[in-house]
Amino acid sequence: MKKQSGFTLIELAVVIVILIGLAIYGMEGLGNMLDFKSRIDTENKVKSWRKAIESVYLDNSATIDVQTTAILRLVSGTDISPALPATTGASIGKCSMVAANMLEFANRGGHSAADMIQDGHHNSFCLYITPRLSTTVSGTTLFYHSVAIVSPGRNGRIDTGTTLDAAGNLTLAAGSDDVGILFDGRKFAADRYNQTIAAMQRTVDAYSAYYAARYQSDGTRSLSNDYFSCGAATCPSTLPRWDTSSEMIATCSGAIAMVQTTGTSPHTVLGLSALDVTDGWGNLFTMDNCTDAVRSPSSTIAARQSPPYTSQISATLPGGTVLSMTVVGQI
């Protein structure tokens, strides 16, 4: 008879133990890989939220920053409310963001609304919004809200210590797996203010140059004439102390936007683009060269009827603060 060979029970047991170990190792490796992918997906989604919040805030700041409560009011009339962690019950620490309310952010972030509200672990993001805050830059009061988006991480719950405080500072709990970003409304407002100042100064410089050019082109030039305006069809009755050959219309009925859709527009007279006469929040500057707010021959205030004549460029900032620069007619 031939001798038969095979595995002993001990050998089979050893092989099974090895296979189980490899399987466990493989599952751990797969789990780690999936967790790594989820964290990367969360970080990428958070970046999309940053882009979306900045875009939505910029386009809607005029309606957002007049609200004193913790909401983001869009131009469309939609109110975006915070999505905060539950404080009681089985869902404690979890947020429940509603996809239908986040369409505007999803469109800006490049995701569907259902995808936008979930992090890489398929947990709902949390949305924090401060009530309206204020800061002062160069003596001007600016209003803003700060907004934070936070992922609860792998455990699906916001850990104790993760907060957006009353001053607009985001804190992530030490040692937690929470991931979040802060849209700092204070920095945003300051940046937009600086853009506004720069654009307004360019407009003032252009209007000053216009005044000087009109003065030089007048053969009978005199500083007793107001060379800031006026278009022939709008010349006030106090002639000849106005530049009757000017293209610039007079604003004796009240300040007007620098861009007019009909007739001669102030920005084109000054050789400026519409963007040049737009503030950092996307609103047009206004111009005043004839009311009692400036010095002009038509002022009803006797002390303002004599040179040097002035004009005013203004911007109404979100929240109602008015920022103005005066153009002085001098050579």
Residues 6+ apart with CB under 8 A from 81: 70, 71, 101, 129
**In this predicted structure, what is the pLDDT of residue 140?**
93
- pLDDT value at residue 330: 85
Statement to judge: residues 70 and 171 lie in one domain: yes
The predicted-structure confidence for 78-99, as pLDDT tens digits, reads as follows 999 999 999 998 899 999 999 9
Which of 183, 210, 227 is the C-terminal boundary of a domain? 183
Residue 29 is predicted with a pLDDT of 57
Domain presence at residue 77: yes
Residues 176 and 228 in one domain: no
The count of domains in the chain is: 2
User: Could you report the per-residue pLDDT of 129-155, keeping only the tens digit for each?
Assistant: 999 999 999 999 999 999 999 999 989
Q: Are residues 246 and 311 in the same domain?
A: yes
Contact 127, 83 (CB under 8 A): yes
Rounded to 5°, angle at Cα 236 from 235 and 242: 65
Angle between the N-to-C axes of helices 185-217 and 9-64, in degrees from 0 to 180, rounded to the nearest 10: 40
Confirm if 147 and 129 have CB atoms less than 8 A apart: yes
Residue 328 contacts residue 310 (beta carbons within 8 Å): yes
Last residue of a domain, one of 157, 183, 209: 183
> Do 68 and 132 belong to one domain?
yes
Is 160 a member of any domain?
yes
- Reported as half-sphere exposure (CB side, CA atoms, 13 A), residue 155 has a value of 11
Domain of residue 176 covers 20-183
CA-wise closest residue to 327 among 226, 207, 231: 207
- Rounded CA separation 206/273 (Å): 12
Helices (H), 182-237: 185-217
Mean pLDDT by 10 residues, the chain (331 residues): 62 70 60 70 93 93 91 94 93 94 93 94 95 94 96 93 95 94 94 96 98 94 92 77 90 95 94 96 94 94 94 93 94 79
pLDDT recorded at residue 196 = 96
284 three-state secondary structure:
strand
Contact predicate 149/181, CB 8 Å: yes
Q: Is 150 helix (H, G, I), strand (E, B) or coil?
A: strand
Within-domain flag for 245 = yes
Q: What's the pTM?
A: 0.79
The predicted pLDDT at position 134 comes to 94
* pLDDT at residue 24 in the model: 65
Q: What is the structure's pLDDT at 234?
A: 76
Residues 234 and 172 both lie in one domain:
no
Does 224 lie in the same domain as 171?
no
β-bridge partners, 142 = 135
Amino acid (1-letter code) at residue 163: T
